[in-house]
Chain A
Amino acid sequence: MAESAPLAARRSGRLIAHLWMVLGVIVVAFPVYYVFVASTHSLQTILRPPLPLLPGSEAVRNYSEAFSGGVSRIGGVSLWRLLANTTIVAMGIALGKIAISMASAYAIVFFRFPLRMACFWLIFITLMLPVEVRIQPTYKVMVDLGLINTYPGLILPLIASATATLLFRQFFMTIPDELLEAARVDGAGPWRFFKDILWPLSLTNVAAIFVIQFIYGWTQYLWPLLVTNSNEMNTIVIALKKMVSFADADTPWHLVMVTSVLAILPPILVVVLMQRWFVKGLVETEK
C-alpha cells in the first residue's frame, strides 16, 4: 500500500482510529460472542443476571445434551435433522440459483433467437419483487402443487430471482468476441466452450454468488415459516423461534443457546473463510 506523506494519519490519529474500531468491533461482534458464552453456562447461571463475560465450564455437558435428545424434547425434532434441513435448503438455493442463472445467461449472451430480449426482461423484472410481497398467492401455488412440507417447496420459490442471472450476463458480456471465434474455428460447440473456457473464467463469480446465496438461504425466515408445518421439515432458525418463548419460565435456555450457536456458526464460517470472494462479489456485483 503506497501511503504518501500528507495522507498518512498522524500517530495519535491512528491510535484514536484503532480505539474506535475496537469499540465498533466490540459492539458488532459482542452479541454473537455473548450467545456463545451463554451456551457454555448452566441454566441457573443464565437466569441469574448479569451473565459472566467469559465462557463457563458447562460447554461439553450443554452441547452433548443438545445433540443427544435435549433439543428433540423441546422442539420435537433432533438438532441433527435441523442442521441437515437447513444445509439442504441453503445448498439447494445456492447451487440451484447458480445452475439456472448460468444456463439462462449463457443462452441470452451467446445465442441469437427470437424473443431473446423479451425473455431477458421477463427475468429482469423479478429483480424488483422479493417473495415477501407475494407470499399469500405464492403459498396458494405451493398448496396446489402439493409442495408444502417438502424441500422443493422450501427451495424453488426462492431461486426465482434475477440477481445471479444479471451478474452472469454482465460477466459473460465482457468475454471478448475473439475468444469465442477462436473456439469456434477450433470446432468447439456450446458445451465444449462452456466447459473449457467460460467455466474456469467464471469461478470467482461463482464463488461470490455461492456465498451470498448460501447466506440468503440459511437465514430465510418468512418462507420456511409458511411452507412447513411439520417439525421434521423445520429449518434451524424456525425451530429456534419455536423453542423460544420469553414469557415461559420453563424454557431450557442453555439448550436454546447451543442451538443459536449452531444456527449462527455455519454461515459465519462460510463468510469468513470465503471472505475474499464474498467481499469482491458483493461490492462489485450489486452496484
Chain B
Amino acid sequence: MRRTVFPHKLLPWLLLAPQLAITLIFFYWPAAQAFRQSMLREDAFGLKTTFVGLANFRKVLSDPNYLNSMRVTVVFSVLVAFFAMAIALFLAVQAEKIVRGKGFYRTLMIWPYAVAPAIAGMLWLFMFNPSFGTLAWPLRQLGISWNPLLDSTQAMGLVVAAATWKQISYNFLFFVAGLQAIPRSLLEAAAIDGASRRHTFWTITFPLLAPTSFFLLVVNTVYALFDTFGIIHAVTGGGPGKATETLVYKVYNDGFVNLIMGDSAAQSVILMIIVIALTAFQFRFIERRVHYG
C-alpha cells in the first residue's frame, strides 16, 4: 500500500473522466442494452416490442442452427488452440537448442502477429484457391478434388490453417520466455544423471511450462472465439452451408444480415457469459493450481 499520495480531491476525477466516460458510453450502456433486448421480442413490422422473459434464450438454445454453430465453434477452437500451441512449443524448443541465429529466426517468426486476420484468411485462400492457387495445383495433380468453397471439411481445414498460422508467433514468444525461465540447474542435474533429452523434456520441461501453457490455452481459446471473425468472413462466409459458422459469426449474421434483434442479443449475452466464465477460470483455477513447484 502506498503511504505517500497527492492530496488533491478533484484532480483524480478529472484524470479518470475520459476513461470512465468512454467505458460507460461504449461498454456499460451497450452491455445493458444487450441484456434488455435479449428479453424483448419485436413483432414482424418492428412496431411493437413485448417483454418475453427468457423466451429468446430458450428459442436460441433449442435452435438446431445455434447448436450447430456451437459445435462448429468447439471443433474450430480446439483444433486452432491445439495446433497453434503444439507447433509453437515444438519450434520454441528447437530455438532454445540453437546458440547462434536465435534473433534472426525470431524476427521472421513474429510476422504473422502483425497480419490482420481477414488478410491472413485471404492469403491462405489465395494460395489454395481452387482455380489458380499455387498450392491447390499440386493437390489437384495428386487427384484430390480440392474445393474448399464447396467441401465443408476442406473449408474447415482452410480456416483452421489460417487461424493457426496467425497465432503461432504469439505462442512462440511466450513459450520461448517460458523455456528461458526454467532453472538451468534442474536441466543440468537431469543431464548429469544421464536422462535422455526426450525424457528430460516430458518430466521436467513440460510440467514446468504448465503456467505458460494454461495461460496460452485461455488466450488461444478467446482468440479462436472472437478474433477469427475476419478469417471466416473473408474465406468462407460461414459456409459452405453453415459448416464454418462460429458463434460470433452467427451473432453478426443474425444481428446485421438477418436482423433478428432479440435472438442476436440473447446470443451476445450467452457469449458474454462464456467469456466471463473463461476469465474467471483463468483467474481462479489456473492461478492457484498451477505454479512452479
Contact = CB atoms under 8 A, between A and B. Distances in A.
Contacts, number: 296
Main secondary structure on chain B at its contact with chain A? helix
A21 B98 contact: yes
B149 interface: yes
Contact of B16 (A108, A137, A189, A270): A108
Interface residues of B, number: 101
Given A21-B98, A31-B165, A222 B252 contact: yes
B137 A49 contact: yes
A79 interface: no
B275 interface: yes
Contacts of B37: 136-137
Contacts of A173: 2
B82 interface: no
Contacts of B98: 14, 17-18, 21
Contact of B119 (A145, A237, A287): A237
Contacts of B238: none
A104 B22 CA distance: 12
Interface residues of A, number: 103
Interface string A2-45: 01101111000110011011001101110110110010000000
A108 B165 CA distance: 39
Contacts of B87: 24
Contact of B91 (A8, A20, A132, A215): A20
A218 B113 CA distance: 12
Interface of B: 2-6, 8-9, 11-13, 15-16, 18-20, 22-23, 25-31, 33-34, 37, 87, 90-91, 94-95, 97-99, 101, 105-120, 122-127, 129, 132-134, 136-138, 149, 165, 168-170, 173-174, 177, 184, 187-188, 191-192, 197, 215, 219, 222, 226, 229-230, 233-234, 248, 251-252, 255-256, 261, 264-265, 268, 271-272, 275-276, 279
Interface of A: 1, 3-4, 6-9, 13-14, 17-18, 20-21, 24-25, 27-29, 31-32, 34-35, 38, 46-51, 99-101, 103-104, 106-113, 116, 119, 122-123, 126-130, 132-141, 145, 156-157, 159-160, 165, 173, 177, 180-181, 184, 189-190, 193, 215, 218-222, 225-226, 237, 240-241, 244, 246, 260, 263-264, 267-268, 270-272, 275, 278-279, 282-283, 286-287
